[in-house]
Amino acid sequence: MHLTELNLTNADKDFVWHPYTQMRDWVKWNNKVIVKGDGFYLVDSEGRKYLDGSASMWCNVWGHTQNKVVQAMIDQLKKVPHSTLFGFANAPSIELAERLLELARGMHKVFYTDNGSTAIEVAMKMALQYWYNKGKEKKKEFISLDHGYHGDTIGAMSVGYIENFFRVYRPLLLNVHRIPSPLLYGSRFTNERDLVEWCLEKTENTLKRHKDRCAALMMESGAQIAGGAIIYPTGYQKKVARLCRDYDILLILDEIATGFGRLGNVVEYLAQRSQPDIVCFGKALTGGYFPLAVTLVTRRIFDAFLGKYRYNKHLYHGHTFTGHPTGCAAALANIENYQNHDLTQQIKVSAEYMASRLPEFSKSPIVADIRYKGLLAGIELTKNNKPIVFLKNKEIINYFIMRQALMMGVHLRPLGNIMLLIPPLGIGKRDLEKLVNVQLKLLRKIEKLS
Ligand SMILES: Cc1ncc(COP(=O)(O)O)c(C=O)c1O
């Protein structure tokens, strides 16, 4: 029987353990079961439509209906649904690697995985083994930014440590050296210039102190999203890249959430003029349709893994679905679609529209800070200088936002007290307008309840 014909009760829905979800509340909440897509909307089993206001966790580009990316996947599935990269190559993975290396200037080889977290794990293993293969085994520690987020696997949680999420898992995690994130809001600085100077000074001290023991510095490229929608000030990332070079510490850039257009640039590190040694992409790489991620390295890194077999210099990493031809075909069609639709220009126009609407939020007495770039905006809500956690009706603020948004026909996923505007990259004006309007209505409701 087709799912739409089922009358899904709460009990029926109760088989799946959802991510980052208190499952007791999930059952109470009567959450929705999505059965099909319609443009930038998702349609539930009762026929109700929800605008995809979270870009399906920041990855969706073209919406949820048939398009050239989907067709490319269907075509590939008909040719060969999967073939492993262990011992074989496959045509889409070669073509995609070639295409990615044209886009990501300065990079030399592409390693495939199937999600952002594992792309990060690979990057960390590569950095460690690079130094090992060079005879510098002592360089095995990592540096990362406060408020960074790099995924949910062990290495990724270590470098992207968010206390509230990962406290319990600490016994599993690596010790990582932290450097400050350039977030002006809530800092003791009144301007970005002084803040950046202070961050860079701290960063340089850390690099200097640990240069003989550190393999790499890991950071998100352009902005930290999960850690609070923190946009790097102009020139900051470039200067961090220079410090890494000066102290011979590899720079790993995480473009999993920011690459492929979120901040307005397909390759963010080029816009930031900060050449990494290793860079990761995921999420929007396939338009958000297939779990595929990549870790790209420079020639310097790759060459350190070459040698006679008995020297055992090769990289011991590989997943069953590494370089999945269907995912690679999706990514190739997606990249072609970016060009055919001049998506970066469309993102620019949408970003300008979104920015033009943000002053309507800043008028609110509970809006403490708005941070934005491209198609990302974070709106920080506070009362008496404290983050709003609970509302007068005793509801947790993020539950309230999600629940009310669904009632208004939009799917949202805020970061606690930070409202997030993070639409599908190819969204049209009318849908974007709806998304902004609904967030404004929600803000008014929260004002009354806080
Ligand atoms: C910057 C960043 N890196 C890594 C990841 C992990 O990606 P995935 O969820 O595909 O494992 C995310 C996910 O949100 C992310 O935002």
| Same domain (yes/no): 326, 410 | no
| Same domain (yes/no): 9, 128 | no
- Domain containing residue 50: CATH number: 3.90.1150.10
Q: What is the mean pLDDT of the chain?
A: 95
Domain hosting 377: range is 3-65+342-449
CA distance 404 to 374: 26
CA distance 72 to 75: 5
Residue 423 Cα to ligand 1 midpoint, Å, equals 16
Residue 383 Cα to ligand 1 midpoint, Å, equals 30
Query: Is the shortest distance between the CB of 116 and ligand 1 below 6 Å?
Result: yes
- Domain containing residue 332: CATH number: 3.40.640.10
Query: Is the shortest distance between the CB of 255 and ligand 1 below 6 Å?
Result: no
| Same domain (yes/no): 440, 365 | yes
Residue 24 Cα to ligand 1 midpoint, Å, equals 26
Tens of pLDDT, residues 5-27: 455 555 556 789 999 999 888 87
Nearest-atom index, ligand 1, CA of 255:
1
Give residue 367's pLDDT band: very low, low, confident or very high (50, 70, 90): very high
Give residue 169's pLDDT band: very low, low, confident or very high (50, 70, 90): very high
Residues 217 and 244: beta-carbon distance below 8 Å: yes
Task: Please work out, in degrees rounded to the nearest 5, the angle formed at the alpha carbon of residue 290 by the alpha carbons of 150 and 419.
Answer: 50
Residue 151 Cα to ligand 1 midpoint, Å, equals 5
Q: Is 335 helix (H, G, I), strand (E, B) or coil?
A: helix
Q: Which is nearest to 417 in space by CA: 397, 403, 445, 395?
A: 397
CA distance 287 to 329: 11
Residue 280 Cα to ligand 1 midpoint, Å, equals 10
Tens of pLDDT, residues 371-407: 999 999 999 999 999 999 999 999 999 999 999 999 9
Per-residue pLDDT at 1 exceeds 70: no
pLDDT of residue 308: 97
Give residue 32's pLDDT band: very low, low, confident or very high (50, 70, 90): confident
| Same domain (yes/no): 288, 277 | yes
Q: Which is nearest to 375 in space by CA: 425, 321, 310?
A: 425
Please give the tally of structural domains in the chain: 2
Per-residue pLDDT at 200 exceeds 80: yes
Ligand 1: residue of 283, 286, 292, 321 to mutate (most ligand atoms within 8 A of CB) is 283
Torsions phi, psi for 350 (to 5 deg): -60, -40
CA distance 431 to 199: 39
Residues 43 and 37: beta-carbon distance below 8 Å: yes
Residues 314 and 72: beta-carbon distance below 8 Å: no
Ligand 1: residue of 150, 252, 279, 285 to mutate (most ligand atoms within 8 A of CB) is 150
Q: Which is nearest to 443 in space by CA: 422, 424, 417, 423?
A: 417
Per-position DSSP letters for 176-232, written without gaps between them? EEEE-----TTSS-SSHHHHHHHHHHHHHHHHHHHTTTEEEEEEESSEESTTT-EEP
Torsions phi, psi for 196 (to 5 deg): -60, -40
Residues 294 and 103: beta-carbon distance below 8 Å: no
Q: Which is nearest to 434 in space by CA: 15, 41, 31?
A: 41
| Same domain (yes/no): 380, 315 | no
Nearest-atom index, ligand 1, CA of 283:
10
Query: Is the shortest distance between the CB of 254 and ligand 1 below 6 Å?
Result: yes
Contacts of 300 (CB under 8 A, 6+ apart): 277
Closest C-alpha to ligand 1, atom 8: 116
pLDDT of residue 427: 98
Residue 116 Cα to ligand 1 midpoint, Å, equals 5
pLDDT of residue 4: 46
Contacts of 344 (CB under 8 A, 6+ apart): 261, 264, 265, 266, 338
Over residues 230-258, mean pLDDT: 98
CA distance 183 to 285: 28
Q: Which of 340, 361, 382 is the last residue of a domain?
A: 340
| Same domain (yes/no): 336, 354 | no
Q: Six-digit token pair at 178?
A: 């932290």
CA distance 333 to 402: 33
Query: Is the shortest distance between the CB of 149 and ligand 1 below 6 Å?
Result: yes
pTM of the predicted model over 0.75 = yes
| Same domain (yes/no): 230, 268 | yes
CA distance 148 to 37: 32
Q: Which of 290, 313, 340 is the last residue of a domain?
A: 340
Q: Is 155 helix (H, G, I), strand (E, B) or coil?
A: helix
Tens of pLDDT, residues 135-168: 999 999 999 999 999 999 999 999 999 999 999 9
| Same domain (yes/no): 396, 257 | no
| Same domain (yes/no): 365, 270 | no
Residue 255 Cα to ligand 1 midpoint, Å, equals 9
pLDDT more than 70, % of the chain: 97
| Same domain (yes/no): 45, 173 | no
Query: Is the shortest distance between the CB of 257 and ligand 1 below 6 Å?
Result: yes
